[in-house]
Chain A
Amino acid sequence: MKKETTLVVDDAIYSEEALKLAAYVFEDRFRTALRRRGARTEVRFSGEGAGDAPGEFLNEALNQQCRLDLMKKNSKVANIIVTRMLLSASGGNQKSGGKK
């Protein structure tokens, strides 16, 4: 039986990016569609697995939002570490090798 539920969230609390990332996480279970309504966003869930969608979705949206909040404060150090790691793994300090 197809289900459809809707909730409305404040854009000040959950950014569009957080909502989109959360929707992607669940795309194999239910469909999510976002529609801006002024300073709020209507989130519509549909599909077989949409039963507990609002609750799970909001937890994930909060997860993503907290990560985005952290990135705003911490991206320089975070990116230095990742870049250093990838540079080393590529052999960037020296010639990288391997059969082509």
Chain B
Amino acid sequence: MSRPRSGSVIDKVPFIVKLAEHPLDNVRYAAYALSGVARVALALKGRGSVEVTFSPAPGGKLDAAALKKAFKRELQDEALRARVFALNAGLREHLILRAMAAAAAKPAPPPEPGLTPEQERELEALIASVEKEIKQESAAGGRAAATWEERYGRKSGKKN
């Protein structure tokens, strides 16, 4: 691993983040936010810390100083975002549910009936069903990579 020099271009930029200061979810997001400009790898470092290592994409370069500044800013922003979100999640949910059930504003296209109790029950059942199905289907279409044990001897391929 190269030692970063201020203002220089190097191949890896590591950061150690204490989980007592920044929860793991926040560290993951802050790293993710910068994954458009770099490859990023996270690993546990001892007890209570995470090492976040940025490296350039093939043929690319990294500015260590700029990256350090950006990552620090992202960590702080994410801490604030997470706190604001946690404080307002219930209120937000209430408002959106209320908007879903409210009568349409006038003037409007054909008036919405709003949700009857039966429709609300239907909606709740649908939510439960969709939650389950989206988890299974949405990104992977029901197909996921296999472990060695499952994969051995089977060929996969994108349909085309």
Contact = CB atoms under 8 A, between A and B. Distances in A.
Assess A/B contact in the complex (Cβ within 8 A).
yes
Interface of A: 9-10, 12-14, 19-21, 23-24, 27-28, 31-36, 44, 51-52, 54-56, 58-59, 62-67, 69, 73-77, 79-84, 86-87, 92-93
Interface string B125-160: 011001100100001100111111001000011100
**Interface SS majority for chain A:** helix
B33 to A, nearest CB: 9
Contacts, number: 118
A66 B29 contact: yes
A81 to B, nearest CB: 8
Most chain B CB inside 10 Å of its own CB: which residue of A27, A36, A86 = A27
Given A27-B145, A62-B42, A69-B28, A84 B123 contact: yes
B39 A56 contact: yes
Given A69-B25, A80-B100, A87-B123, A31 B40 contact: no
